[in-house]
Amino acid sequence: MTNLNIKGLKNKSTHSHISFSDSVNHMVERAFKVLNLDPGIAEAMQACNSTIQLKFPVEIDGKIEVFTGWRATHSSHRLPSKGGIRYAPIVNQDEVEALAALMTYKCAIVDVPFGGSKGGLLIDPTKYSSESMQKITRTFARELIRKGFLSPSINVPAPDMGTGEREMAWIADTYKQLHPEDVNHAACVTGKPVAHGGIRGRTEATGRGVVYAIREFFRHPGDMKKANLKGSLGGKRIVIQGLGNVGYHAAKLLQEEDEALIIAVIERDGALINDNGIVIESLKQHINEHGTIKGYPDATFTENGHSALELQCDILIPAAMEAQITDANVDRINTKLIVEAANGPVTFSADEKLRSRGVTILPDAYVNAGGVTVSYFEWVRNLSHIRFGRMERRFDEARGQHLITAMESVSQKQLPDWIRNEIVRGADELDLVRSGLDDTMRLAYKELSEARMENPGVDDFRTASYVVAVKKIARSYTDIGVY
Can you give the C-alpha Rg of the chain in angstroms?
A: 23
Within 13 Å of residue 270, how many CA atoms lie on the same side as its CB?
14
Closest CB 223 distance from ligand GLU, rounded Å: 24
Nearer residue to ligand GLU within complex by CB, 158 or 243: 158
Q: Per rule CB under 6 A, is residue 75 in the interface with ligand GLU?
A: no
Closest CB 48 distance from ligand GLU, rounded Å: 16
Closest CB 156 distance from ligand GLU, rounded Å: 7
Backbone angles phi, psi at 96, to 5 degrees: -65, -40
CA angle at 44 for the pair 39 and 50, rounded to the nearest 5°: 155
Residue nearest to ligand GLU (CB): 84
Please enumerate in sequence order all residues whose Cβ is within 8 A of that of 327, keeping only pairs 6 or more positions apart, or say none: 347, 349, 350, 353
Task: Decide if 444 contacts 369 (C-beta within 8 A).
Answer: yes
Site residues (CB under 6 A) for ligand GLU, limited to 362-391: 368, 371-372, 375
Distance between CA atoms of 57 and 139, rounded to whole angstroms? 8
Within 13 Å of residue 204, how many CA atoms lie on the same side as its CB?
16
Tell me which stretch binds ligand GLU (CB under 6 A): 48-56, 81-89, 287-295, 452-460.
Answer: 81-89
Q: Catalytic residue among 82, 118, 236, 336, which? A: 118
- The DSSP symbol for 102 reads H
Q: Per rule CB under 6 A, is residue 244 in the interface with ligand GLU?
A: no
Which H/E stretch holds residue 115?
Answer: strand 115-122
Residue 118 bears catalytic tag: yes
Closest CB 168 distance from ligand GLU, rounded Å: 10
Q: Are strands 155-159 and 237-241 parallel, antiparallel or unpaired?
A: unpaired
Which whole-number Å values give the CA distances from 1 to 86, 344, 347, in the listed order?
Answer: 17, 11, 9
Nearer residue to ligand GLU within complex by CB, 101 or 333: 101
Nearer residue to ligand GLU within complex by CB, 99 or 265: 99
Closest CB 402 distance from ligand GLU, rounded Å: 39
Which whole-number Å values give the CA distances from 226 to 119, 211, 329, 460, in the listed order?
Answer: 38, 20, 23, 11
Which residue in the set 28, 158, 293, 299 belongs to the binding site for ligand GLU (CB under 6 A)?
158
Which residue in the set 22, 143, 160, 322 belongs to the binding site for ligand GLU (CB under 6 A)?
160
Q: How many residues bind ligand GLU (CB under 6 A)?
A: 11
Backbone angles phi, psi at 70, to 5 degrees: -135, 155
Site residues (CB under 6 A) for ligand GLU, limited to 161-190: 190
Q: Per rule CB under 6 A, is residue 83 in the interface with ligand GLU?
A: yes
Which whole-number Å values give the CA distances from 96 to 19, 85, 131, 167, 384, in the listed order?
Answer: 11, 9, 26, 18, 31
Site residues (CB under 6 A) for ligand GLU, limited to 304-343: 343
Closest CB 458 distance from ligand GLU, rounded Å: 24
Which parts of this chain interact with ligand GLU (CB under 6 A)? 82-84, 158, 160, 190, 343, 368, 371-372, 375
The residues annotated with a catalytic role in the active site are 118
